[in-house]
């Protein structure tokens, strides 16, 4: 029985990978998407840091946090509404693939894109001679954080069930931009007032930025273990919520 169930899940996971391949070909391998994914966080970041005369070690965690967050959530919210409009979602649903496998595929493709683009600020940091104190923790953090943000991106398109990508992107921006400002990117958490600290604790990006500071600057507000566990919990909650809400709203979307 267990073997049958695991073979079924394994088989469905393989079909998720077909969704990943499709998404990369259609949405993520386009030059403008990659450039846009890098440019938005870079320029937003520059606009806040230029003239502040901070050391590079203090800049890279914020840049990395923004890059991972913006790239892993850049295309994800638009995929489901876009496919509903193009009637390709109907094709996927009538294929022998579970709904959870379809959405896992969407999450994995956003995750891979986010993790890949996040390598750029890390490589840039290494090239300018910044020492990464704990590369393993940083790598684990990037993986967990981009998976968490990718799950959030699919969750953002789950409600309301629409086939208008522009509407979803607007909602997504309304969630994403405030999160960037409360996540310790521009102002370190320890410098925030107590209400700011409480507010920042509800953002998953806070824990990734904190973890990145620990890996690069060697100091952080929360213990690294806590950062990792909270990111994992956020990732699971976002993923499960995204799948469950999409399953429930799917009949209204088609």
Partner 1 sequence: MLTGVIKPDEGTARIFGHDILSEGLKSRQLMGIVPEMANAYVDLSAWNNIMLTGELYGIPKKQRKMKAEKLLKEFGLHNRKGHTVKGFSRGMKQKLLLCMALINEPQILFLDEPTSGLDVESQRRIRDMIRDLNEKGTTVFLTTHNMEEANQLCDNIAIINHGKIATIDSPERLKSRSSGLQSIEVSFNKAVGVNELMKIQGVFEVRKQGDKARLYVDDPSTVIAELVEFAKARKAKIISLNTLAPSLEDVFLKLVREEEKGVPYGK
Whether 254 and 90 have beta carbons less than 8 Å apart is answered as yes
Candidate ranges 15-23, 116-124, 134-142, 232-240; the one touching partner 1 (CB under 8 A): 15-23
Asked if residue 254 binds partner 1 (CB under 8 A), the reply is yes
Would you count residue 6 as binding partner 1 (CB under 8 A)?
no
90 counts as binding partner 1 under rule CB under 8 A: yes
- Out of 6, 95, 173, 198, the residue judged to bind partner 1 by CB under 8 A: 95
Among 5, 31, 51, 94, binds partner 1 (CB under 8 A): 94
In this complex, which beta carbon is closest to partner 1, that of residue 192 or of residue 250?
250
Q: Does 96 bind partner 1 (CB under 8 A)?
A: yes
> Judged by CB under 8 A, which stretch of 95-103, 108-116, 188-196, 226-234 contacts partner 1?
95-103
DSSP 25: I
Exactly one of 18, 40, 199, 229 binds partner 1 (CB under 8 A); which one?
18
Give the DSSP letter string of 58-104: HHHHHHHHHHHHHHHTTSHHHHHHHHHHTTHHHHHHTSS--HHHHHH
Distance separating alpha carbons of residues 12 and 10, to the nearest angstrom: 5
Tell me if 252 contacts partner 1 by CB under 8 A: no
**For residues 11-28, b (16+ Cβ closer than 10 Å) or e, as one string?**
ebeebbeebbebbbeebb
Phi, psi for residue 134 in degrees, rounded to 5: -130, 85
SS3 157: coil
Residue 80 binds partner 1, judged by CB under 8 A = no
Q: Which residues bind partner 1 (CB under 8 A)?
A: 11, 14-15, 17-18, 21-22, 25-26, 86-88, 90-98, 251, 254
């Amino acid at each position: 029985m267990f073997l049958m169930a695991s073979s079924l899940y394994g088989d469905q996971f393989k079909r998720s990978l077909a969704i990943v391949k499709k998404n990369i070909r259609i949405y993520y391998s386009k030059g403008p998407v990659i450039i846009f994914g890098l440019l938005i966080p870079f320029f937003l970041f520059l606009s806040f840091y230029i003239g502040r005369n901070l050391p590079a070690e203090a800049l890279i965690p914020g840049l990395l946090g923004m890059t991972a967050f913006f790239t892993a959530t850049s295309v994800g919210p638009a995929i489901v509404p876009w496919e509903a409009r193009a009637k390709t979602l109907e094709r996927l649903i009538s294929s022998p693939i579970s709904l959870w496998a379809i959405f896992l595929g969407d999450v994995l493709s956003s995750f891979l894109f986010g993790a890949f683009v996040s390598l750029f600020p890390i490589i840039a940091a290494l090239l300018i001679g910044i020492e990464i104190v704990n590369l393993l923790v940083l790598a684990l953090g990037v993986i967990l954080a981009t998976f968490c943000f990718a799950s959030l991106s699919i969750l953002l398109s789950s409600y309301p069930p629409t086939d208008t990508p522009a509407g979803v992107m607007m909602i997504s921006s309304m969630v994403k931009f405030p999160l960037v400002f409360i996540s310790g990117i521009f102002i370190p958490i320890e410098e925030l007032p107590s209400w700011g600290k409480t507010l920042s604790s509800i953002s998953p990006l806070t824990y990734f930025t904190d973890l990145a500071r620990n890996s690069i600057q060697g100091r952080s507000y929360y213990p690294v273990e806590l950062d990792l566990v909270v990111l994992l919990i956020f990732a699971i909650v976002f993923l499960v919520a995204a799948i469950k809400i999409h399953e429930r709203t799917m009949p209204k979307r088609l």
